[in-house]
Every structure is written in C-alpha cells, then in structure tokens.
Structure 1
C-alpha cells in the first residue's frame, strides 16, 4: 500500500512542480522567491502548489501588491523562503548521511549544519543582500538570528517525523530509493508548519521579509517611469524593515526579547528531539 501512496505522491509532485515552474514566470514576484516556491513544491508536492496559488499567484492583473499584503501571506513567504533554502542543505546532509550510514545523532547534526549554513549564507544573506544595502557582511549580520530561530523550529518539526519514519519504513535510509525522498518530503512539510509561528513573530518585528511585488515593463513610456518609481518605492519598503530590525536589535529591550526568543527556539528544538527519542522506542 505504501508503494502506491508514494507513486501517487511523486506523480502529483511532478505535475505540481511543472505547473508552478511554468505559471510563476508571469507572477510579479522576486526571482529568489520564485525559485523558493519551485523548491518548496519540489519538497512538498501539491501542498506547495496549493500554497503558491493561495498565497502568491496574482488573482487578477494589477492586484498582486494588495493580494500579498496581508500578514498571513507575508508570513507564508517568509516561511517558504526559510524552508526552501534550508531544505537544500538539509537534503544534502541527509543524502551524505545515508550514503555513509551515519548514526542518527550525526545525521541530524550534519543536516542542521548544512541546512543552516546554506539557508543563512546563501539563500538569506547572499541572495537578499540588496535588502541590506548591497553589503554581504551586513546581510550576514542582520539575517543570522532570524535564520537561527526559524531553523530551530523547522528542525523541531522535521526530526521526529524523519527519525520515526526512517526507522519504520523499509529502505528509507537509502537515498537511491523512493522511500527516502518520500520521508524527507513529509518531514519538510511538517517542518514548514512548525516554523510558521516563529516566522509570524519575525515578520511582525520586521526581522524577516515576506512576499514582494516586482514588475517589469519593456516599453519606454511614461508608464515605465511610474513602474520604475514604484520599484524604487518597493525597494525602499523592503530595505526599511532590515534597517529597522538592525536598529531594534541594538536596543537593550529588543536584545532581551531576541535572547528570550532564541532560547525559546532552542527549547522547541529540544522538544522535537525529545519526541524523536520517544518515537524511536515504538
């Protein structure tokens, strides 16, 4: 029965990925977030496509700005960006651990290090450095704690599902088999859910960005001037949160709040690890 479920899942994932990859080209979203939705759909199949349609796809021409302005869609974009970037490193770590038959503890540690490293240094700081004024060093500094908090909550959801499913599913440790990729997809899907509340807090504090709207025009008309002006305002609107977040984290009260949320994120991660230990006994 599981083989049939996996076959259906991979078929739906292929169709969903094809739809998102083709359709998102006309969506006035940033290139990084477009690739983020493609990666998320590759991880989570029809759920990723559903989130793209519900949270980012422009319902009618000219409405994208208003459509994505709602808080939950902004948080969706933030969480998607986290899972898409971290997921690349996490999957790379899982593949290496599977090939070399690492024990579970080393497997989780490698996935965490690679996931955090790729998500922070590449998907957050490098690809979004324009939001920090073009400075990669400043981008690394401003995105470290948001990435850390989000990563901890992502792994808190992933680890229990991953460890339990791999123990109870035949060939789930082998990256060459479909069971491995099915288990990792389910784990990333649950991780997305557990990371969402933390991203809500981060977006509400202007420490992470959400959806964007970027429009391009090929005709050099007065309308282009309006589009260019709108793009400048859009850029200012999205660089402002990074500047506000940097200023806030320098204030004593904000530092205490950030320290508290960092501790909370590690507690959540610890709870996830504890649940994983309990589940491996069954």
Structure 2
C-alpha cells in the first residue's frame, strides 16, 4: 500500500513540476533563477505549489500585467520557496552520490547523507541566492553579492536542513525496521515529506530575516 501511495505522490509531484515548467516557458519570470525554483517546488509541494505559482509567481512574470498586491506572508513564502529550491536540488544531487559510493560517517549511511546533502544544499542554496542578488546589484560586484548571499541565506538553509534531517531520522530509526533505499519509490516519497517539513521549519527564520532587512522579500 505504501509503495502505491509513494508512486501516486511522486507522479503528482512530477505532473505539477511539468505544469509549472510549461507555463514558465510561456511566461518567464523577471528573476531568472525563479524559472528553476518554481518547478523544483512543484515536485514536493505538488498541487499547492501550482496554486502558489499561479497566485503569486505569475505576478512576477516578465509579461505580467496585474498589480503585485501580495502581502508579506506571500512574499516570505516565495523567499522560502527560493531557499527550498536550492536546498532540494542539492539534496537530490547528494542522494545518488552517497548511494553509489557507499560512504559512511561514524559507521552510518544516514550520517553520510547528512554530511553530503548539507554541503550540497548549502552550496546550491547560496548559489540560488547569488543569482537572485547579483542581477539586481551588479554595481556592487561578484564578491559583495556572494557575501550578501551568504548573509541572507545561511540561517535559512540550516533550518531547512534541520527540519529535513529530523524527518529523515524519524524515518530511519522509528518508522521502518528496514529504512527504504534510494532505488525504492518509498524513499523519495519520504524525501518529499522531508522537503515540506524543511520548508515549514525554515519559514519563521525567513520571516525574521526579511523583517530585519537581512534578506529581501521576494
């Protein structure tokens, strides 16, 4: 039953990613990196991501003719989505690296996933933030934009990964006698849930970062 549910959830996520991607091809975002972020978020947030994209994302398309009347809650949601996109991409890249190399940390494959995926999530998270900041502030240069990206997204990435890793620990130690493997659909269904939890955990820090002016509301 869980395998069937996993296939359904993964299929819905893929369909939602395709729906968003097709519309973005027709209506590209003003901020280019969001052309990547929205489809990635469609994979784990499913229909909710499609709804959020059409309600809030489309307002920032190059050809948008509607007034941007989004409230702060929505803008912080998009900022969190931006961080989640980078983290998710890094995590997805990290999983096969650990699976194919068979590396372990302190004798644990889970800890190896934590290490590799955190490093990649951080790198891609900062890169996604850089590609949001630099185009708007080319006058300040690459180095300053890179520093601003680290300042804006470090807390966000860390809290996202904490939420995600917490769920992974529950899956690994509590929910299964034999944790699912990366070649099984259940593993990726659990990862979808992990991304949602990571998003929810990182939303309050993103709100704080925006309120303090450390991070721009998107």
Q: What is the CA–CA distance in structure 2 between the aligned matches of 1:77 and 1:27, rounded to whole Å? A: 16
Q: What is the CA–CA distance in structure 2 between the aligned matches of 1:88 and 1:112, rounded to whole Å? A: 11
TM-score, normalised on structure 1? Answer: 0.66
Deviation at 1:27, TM superposition (A): 5.9
Is the 2:75–2:217 Cα contact (8 Å) retained in structure 1? yes
1:137 and 2:140 equivalent? no
Deviations 1:177-211 (A, max 9, x none): 21221111110111001111111111222322333
Corresponding residue for 1:79? 80
**How do 1:251-266 and structure 2 match up within 5 A?**
none
Change (3 A) 1:79 1:42: same
Is the 1:132–1:138 Cα contact (8 Å) retained in structure 2? no
Corresponding residue for 2:36? 35
Is the 1:36–1:81 Cα contact (8 Å) retained in structure 2? yes
CA RMSD between the two structures: 2.5
Corresponding residue for 1:266? none
How many residues align structurally? 208
Change (3 A) 1:204 1:127: closer
Deviation at 1:80, TM superposition (A): 0.7
Q: What is the CA–CA distance in structure 1 between the aligned matches of 2:48 and 2:164, rounded to whole Å? A: 16
TM-score, normalised on structure 2? Answer: 0.84
**How do 1:100-119 and structure 2 match up within 5 A?**
100=102, 102=104, 103=108, 104-119=110-125
Unaligned 5+ segments in structure 1 are: 212-282
Unaligned 5+ segments in structure 2 are: none
Q: What is the CA–CA distance in structure 2 between the aligned matches of 1:33 and 1:177, rounded to whole Å? A: 30
Change (3 A) 1:28 1:97: closer
Q: What is the CA–CA distance in structure 1 between the aligned matches of 2:65 and 2:145, rounded to whole Å? A: 31
> What is the DSSP-based 3-state SS (H/G/I as helix, E as strand, rest coil) of the residue aligned with 2:33?
helix
Deviation at 1:97, TM superposition (A): 2.2
